[in-house]
Each structure stands twice: as structure tokens, then as C-alpha cells.
Amino acid sequence: MNRSRLAVLALLAVAAAWGSTFFLTKDLLTRMDVADYLALRFLIASVALLLVYPTAIAKLSRLDRGRAVALGITYGIAQLVQTEGLRHTDASVSGFVTGMYVVFTPLLAAVILRHKIGRWAWIAVVLATIGLGVLSLRGMTMGNGELLTLASAGLYALHIIGLGAWSTPENAFGLSALQMVVITCVCAIGAIPGGFSAPTGARDWVSVIYMALVAGALALIVQTWAQAHLTPTRAAIAMTMEPVFASAFAVLFGTESVTLRMLVGGALVLSAMYLVELAPRRKFEAEVQHLAQ
């Protein structure tokens, strides 16, 4: 139970790191192509991981290497598809539709892994979805942009499920490093048609390096380790805190102000987090009581 709770806290830290990049990325992409930014960000993250632990990939089993490649391709394509969808829809709608991985994850886990999803988990999924909607939506139509973003949400859900099924505390670093290399290759392929460009100013380089090392390399290692201790559904609900953190950082360091939508949406997502944490605790207490009888 303690290790599981630590894993949830670790995923909340990952969500905070991702949320902190929103206003930085929004500013950076006014001066840099999306695919170029992604390729550079993940390249820096890959180099950092390989420098820290050069033999991590070599120590993976052949099976783990194949799994890491599959996970990296899935995540890399999701990034490109989501980005292409963002070109054709509002950022607020994109944020909400991307967050639909919180719905896809338990559905796909039930089908692929034969996981039984409990009542409290489903209630938490509904609450998190409503919270995402309150935080993000200001009207929505379903067009090509939304459909592409929905597809990326499905791919992110598959990535979450794959990490939950294949990651262990022992292979977390190697799995993260090889995934990062593969993600870099996928994004670089996406950058080829328009040619590659790099940041021109010192501030942009600082933003890219921060997002590569903290919200990229470190976040993926922590996510991979944490998902070795959690069900995919529980992990997905923890990661829906990303837009809540994004709103908080936008208020603290950006130009946005606190609104009722932020407070209500954030409260709903926090309620989902509380429920998903309460459910396993109740199950554990019930088992203890049963053994004591």
C-alpha cells in the first residue's frame, strides 16, 4: 500500500511537470515548428538518459527491447497526431479530447488485459471526465481536428496500458531510455518534410532544455517506475491532474486569472483522485477485517 501510494505521488509530480510546460510550449511554438520542437526536445532527453546510464538499453532483455520500441512508436505517433489535430481545433478543446485517455484506458484495459474495473474506479473516471470538460471546454464541434486528437487519446491510453503491463522497477530506466530514442526517431521523421530548425534565442533554449530534461527524460523514468506499481486506470486518473497543474501554473506564471471554471473543474478532478485512492484502501481494510474474523 505504501509503495502504491508513493507511485501515485510520483505520477502527480509527473503531471505537475507536464502542466508546467503548457504556457512555455504555447509561447515557444509561435517561433518554432511543432515537429522540430518535439524532435529536438526528445533528442536532448535521449542523450541525457544515455549519458547518465550508457548500458541501460544493453541490459534490457530482447523482449523488453521489443516492448520499448512498441511503446516508443505508440507515444511518438500520438504526439504527432495530437499536434496535427491541434492545428485544426482550439487548444481548450484539444486539451479536453486528449484527456479522454482517462476513459479509453479502463475500457481498453478491460478488453486487452481482462482487467475488472471496479465501481469506484468508474465513478472516478466519470468525475475526472466532467472535471476536464469544465476546465477546458467553451463549446465544441466534432471535425477532423477533434477526430485526430481523439485518436491520439486512444494511443496514449495504449501507452499507459503497455507501461502498466511491461514495466518493472528493474527495467524502468532502460525501458525509458529506449522509448525516448524511438520517440525521437518518430518525431524526426515528422520533421523531415518541412526541414529542421532550431531555437534562435537563449530563452527558447532554456525552455526546450527544461522540457527535455524535467518534463521529458525525468518524467518518463518516473512514470515508467510508478506504473510498475499501479493499475492502468489508477495511473490514468492520477495523470488527469495535468490540466489542473497547467491552470495553476498559467495563473502563477502566465497571464491567466483564477476563474470559477478552474475551481470547479479542479475540484472534480481532485475528487476523482480521492475516490481512486479511497477504493484500494477500503478493499485493503476489508481484507484485513476478513482475515481477523
pTM: 0.82
Is it the case that residue 187 has pLDDT exceeding 80? Answer: yes
* Model pLDDT, residue 293: 46
Residue bearing the bigger pLDDT, 85 or 159: 159
Q: All 3 cell numbers of residue 138? A: 467553451
Is it the case that residue 291 has pLDDT exceeding 70? Answer: no
Q: All 3 cell numbers of residue 203? A: 530563452
Give the domain range for residue 103: 2-292
pLDDT-derived band of residue 162, with 50, 70 and 90 as boundaries?
Answer: very high
* Model pLDDT, residue 256: 66
Number of domains in the chain: 1
Is it the case that residue 141 has pLDDT exceeding 70? Answer: no
Nearest Cα to 185, choosing from 38, 58, 61, 82? 38
